[in-house]
Amino acid sequence: MWVNILLKALLFMLFVPGSHLNIPPGGKLLEQSVIHGLIFAVVNYLVYKYVRPLLESFSNPNTRAEQPCPAGYTKCSSGECRLKSDIHSPCS
């Protein structure tokens, strides 16, 4: 969530008319605002089309991947880890 907000703020700062560039140079403020708004919308769309899946993969790791058992444990056929020295409930 924070990356999303920071990325939008960065894009906004880059595309505010007069802060870094003026498109078209010497144009009226309304013209510049409309053009910068359109550029912001297109860049925002493209960034989130390609960057958002990458960001989601970092925040939601694959939890279906099988985790190894800690040292001294064995994995049963049911998928749970049990102590190797457990004589009361061995893997069946």
Q: Per residue in 49-91, pLDDT tens?
A: 887 777 776 666 666 667 788 888 888 888 888 888 887 777 7
pLDDT of residue 59: 63
Q: Are 13 and 19 in contact (CB under 8 A)?
A: yes
Q: For the stretch 71-81, what's the b/e string if a residue is b when 16 or more beta carbons lie within 10 angstroms of its beta carbon?
A: eeeeeeeeeee
Dihedrals φ, ψ of 30, to 5°? -65, -45
pLDDT of residue 33: 87
**What is the model's pTM?**
0.53
Burial grade of 16 (CB within 10 A; 0-12, 13-18, 19 or more): middle
**pLDDT tens-digit readout, 6-51:** 888 888 888 887 777 778 888 888 888 888 889 888 988 888 888 7
Which residues, at least 6 apart from 35, have a Cβ–Cβ distance to it below 8 Å? Answer: 17, 23, 24, 27
pLDDT recorded at residue 20:
77
